[in-house]
Structures are given as C-alpha cells and as structure tokens.
C-alpha cells in the first residue's frame, strides 16, 4: 500500500464486486471496503471469443446490460456517500461503470492493464465515455500507444509500470514441492526445473510451452511445470486444464511435465524453478510474471511482444523469443539447461534490475497524477 504510506491522511475506499484476495490484502491498512456485487450475467460476460460466436455473445451482452442501470445507481450512491474526489478504476468493466456512475465534480482515472484493439465493443464504449475520464494510466508504453490510438486526445495518457512487493518476491523464502503438487514422482537429481507460471487464459501460450518441452532432447536433465489454474468467471476466457493434460500425453510428456493447478503463493513456485517461461502468443500488456521472476532471481525466457518486450534486454537479463515459436522457445530453454553459468548471470542481472518494479514507487507517480486529474474537473 504505497499510497497509504505516502498519504497517511487520505481517506481510501475500495469498491469491489466481491470478496477475495484484494479485500484480504487491504485489511488492517485503514482502507474502507464496500462490496457491490455484479449480477451473475455481468460477472460472466467477456468480450473475448465474441467475434467467433457473435450471436451468443450478443445475447450474453443484453443479459449483462440489463442490470447495469441499477448497478450504476448503487455505485454512484457509494461514491457520493464516501465523498470521493478521485475515482481510480481497474478493468474494462470498472472503467465503463465508473464513467457512468461518476458524480459531477469527481475526477476519474482509468488504469489500463489491457489492450483495446482486440475488444471492439469495449473500445467503442470507452471512446464514447472518454470525455468523462480525466486521466489514463497505462501499464506499459505499448498499452499507452494503443490507448492514444483508441481515444485520441480525449484525455492524457501516462505510463506507469506495475509494481510488485519486493519483500514477498525475493530469492530467499519457502519453496513449493512442485512434484508433489503435480502428482509426479520426485525428479532425478540433478534436474533443471522449467515452469510456465500463468493464468489459464487462451493466449498465455500453454500449447507452445508443451510443444517446446516435447522438442527438447530426452537426455537433457529437465522437467517442466504448468503452474496455475482457472480463475476467471468470464465466458470463453480460459483454456482447459484437462485439455492441456491430454495434449501433454499426446506429446509423450507424462514424466516430463507436471500440472500444479492454482497456487496461492506464486513466489514459492518461482523459487522452486530454475527457469521461468513467459510464452504469450498475443502481445502482453505488461507481463507481471516477468517482473516477479526477476525479483526472485530466476532466469527467464520471454516472448518478445507488447509491453513484455519493454521489460527485458535480450541476452542481458533474460532471453527473448518470437511469440508462438515453439522451436525458438525450446532452443532458449535448452541453452539455459545446458549452461548453468548463463542462467546464473541472467538471474543476477534480472534481480538487480527488478528494483524498478518496486511497488513503493507507485505513489510517486500516482499522487501528482491524481492532483492533475482533480485539477481538470469543473467545480
């Protein structure tokens, strides 16, 4: 909570559609919490996949939109009750609802963690509501360019990299037993552990990772892990864990790749790995796993695309590969398996450079941005 430390006298309110890790994280931080639940239809609605099946998507959209006016009225009442001067929203649904609920005299800041290009509906709605927004925070220069393209000059866009807790994501600390979590027998020693740590989003490159592991020579002392499980409520957002297990069997990876499922402490999984892989097949807005792995002093292999490409200098603090290229990914992983000295140098440099993601620096960027946004609001 860098904002609380920087501004201890500010009244902070968290408005969220449900209880969860974020609510637990702010307990004891002098943050007032209000839960305003989404309707089930609004919670499930997601734009991804709509272009492939637009008629069902339209039906879902109508169902989701049905309860929006009531939600906006409730949200506006909360904002007025808390006498908020600045609203800071995260997520496209929150951006839209926040813009609709924004009372007169209150500033609105959109924190963009995603691209609008693959979301034509969201892009059109945000463009329409952009005059109600007073500032945009983009998590990378790549996202900032996308926002300027989508919104034009409607509101200023600033780039602020995501922050992480460097006391939590650190080289020293507990480590998970990945073999036990995956239901695999203990790996023979010595072995190099390589893991894809990601949510189950369809574009996170799980298939590419499995194909790369299958391409590695059988004699290499390496074991792979898919770390993560389903977390989204939205439709058509995730790949199937069972489907990935089936694909691994088809590739002959039964004894070479394990699936841990969802883990609550990703830093403990990263510490158990020697190499962390980022394999997204679409441009990554930021790539939080990259920053977290660097902070844990793990060697990384990263897809060179989108905001992720901004975080890594190829050959200095990580290795970069083209998106969707299983052969290139296998070559990069194979090099790090064969060359422990290269792994060590990359991990040491990455760990030093991870200080730029210290979340304590977020308030340095956000406090003046809030002030500027509030200054643009008509009294």
Q: pLDDT digit string (tens) for 244-296?
A: 999 999 999 988 999 999 999 999 999 999 999 999 999 999 999 999 999 99
| Backbone phi, psi, residue 165, to 5° | -85, 105
Weakest-pLDDT range from 24-28, 215-219, 223-227, 232-236: 232-236
Q: Where are the alpha helices (DSSP H) in 67-140?
A: 68-81, 92-101, 120-129
Mean pLDDT over residues 181-185, rounded? 95
CA end-to-end span of the chain: 30
Q: How far apart are CA 65 and CA 151, in angstroms?
A: 23
Q: pLDDT digit string (tens) for 107-158?
A: 999 999 999 988 888 889 999 999 999 999 999 999 999 999 999 888 899 9
Burial 181-217 (b: 16+ CB within 10 A, else e): bbebeebeeeebbbbbbbebbbbbbbbbbbbbbbebe
pLDDT confidence of residue 55: 61
Give percent of the chain with pLDDT exceeding 90. Answer: 74
pLDDT confidence of residue 177: 97
75 and 97 Cβ atoms separated by less than 8 Å: yes
237 and 48 Cβ atoms separated by less than 8 Å: yes
Q: 325: Cβ–Cβ under 8 A, 6 or more apart, which residues?
A: 208
- Give the number of residues written for the chain: 379
> Is the four-CA dihedral 135, 139, 144, 150 of positive or negative sign?
negative
Q: How far apart are CA 100 and CA 65, in angstroms?
A: 13
pLDDT confidence of residue 25: 81
Q: How far apart are CA 286 and CA 159, in angstroms?
A: 11
196 and 287 Cβ atoms separated by less than 8 Å: no
Q: How far apart are CA 168 and CA 185, in angstroms?
A: 29
Q: What are the chain's domains? A: 2-163+358-376 (3.40.50.2000), 178-357 (3.40.50.2000)
pLDDT confidence of residue 19: 85
pLDDT confidence of residue 235: 45
Mean pLDDT over residues 88-101, rounded? 95
Residue 6 scores a pLDDT above 90: no
Q: How far apart are CA 318 and CA 313, in angstroms?
A: 6
Mean pLDDT over residues 9-34, rounded? 88
Q: How far apart are CA 353 and CA 311, in angstroms?
A: 9
pLDDT class of 56 with cuts at 50, 70, 90 = low
Question: How would you classify residue 214: left for phi > 0, otherwise alpha for psi between -120 and 50, otherwise beta?
Answer: alpha
pLDDT confidence of residue 96: 95
pLDDT class of 63 with cuts at 50, 70, 90 = confident
Residue 162 scores a pLDDT above 60: yes
Mean model confidence pLDDT for the chain: 91
CA distances from 239 to 48, 202, 228, 289 (A): 12, 5, 11, 18
pLDDT confidence of residue 346: 98
């Amino acid at each position: 909570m860098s904002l609380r430390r920087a501004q201890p006298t500010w009244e902070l309110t968290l408005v969220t559609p449900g209880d969860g890790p974020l609510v637990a994280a702010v307990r004891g931080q002098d943050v007032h919490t209000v839960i305003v639940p989404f309707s089930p239809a609004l919670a499930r609605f997601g734009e991804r996949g709509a272009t492939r099946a637009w008629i069902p998507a339209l039906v879902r959209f109508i169902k989701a939109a049905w309860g929006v006016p009531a939600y906006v009225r409730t949200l506006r009442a909360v904002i007025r009750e808390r006498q908020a001067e600045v609203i800071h929203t995260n997520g496209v649904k929150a951006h839209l609802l926040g813009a609709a609920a924004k009372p007169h005299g209150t500033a609105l800041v959109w924190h963009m963690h995603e691209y609008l290009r693959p979301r034509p509906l969201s892009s059109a709605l945000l463009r329409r509501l952009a005059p109600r927004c007073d500032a945009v925070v983009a998590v990378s220069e790549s996202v900032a360019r996308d926002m300027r393209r989508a919104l034009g000059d409607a509101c200023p866009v600033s780039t602020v990299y995501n922050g992480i807790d460097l006391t939590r994501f650190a080289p020293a600390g507990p480590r998970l037993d990945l073999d036990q979590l995956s239901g695999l027998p203990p790996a023979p020693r010595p072995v190099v552990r390589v893991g894809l740590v990601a949510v189950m989003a369809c574009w996170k490159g799980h298939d590419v990772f499995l194909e790369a592991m299958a391409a590695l020579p059988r004699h290499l002392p390496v074991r792979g892990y898919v770390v993560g499980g389903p977390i989204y409520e939205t439709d058509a957002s995730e790949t199937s864990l069972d489907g990935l297990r089936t694909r691994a069997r088809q590739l002959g990876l039964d004894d070479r790749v394990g699936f841990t499922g969802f883990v609550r402490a990703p830093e403990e999984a990263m510490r158990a790995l020697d190499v962390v892989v980022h394999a997204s097949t679409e441009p990554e807005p930021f790539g939080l796993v990259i920053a977290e792995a660097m902070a844990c002093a793990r060697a990384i292999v990263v897809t060179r695309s989108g905001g992720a490409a901004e975080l890594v200098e190829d050959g200095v603090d990580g290795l970069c590969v083209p998106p969707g290229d299983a052969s290139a990914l296998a070559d990069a992983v194979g090099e790090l398996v064969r060359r422990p000295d290269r792994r060590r140098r990359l991990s040491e440099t990455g760990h030093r450079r991870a200080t730029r993601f210290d979340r304590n620096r977020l308030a340095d960027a956000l406090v003046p941005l809030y002030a500027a946004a509030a200054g643009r609001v008509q009294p």
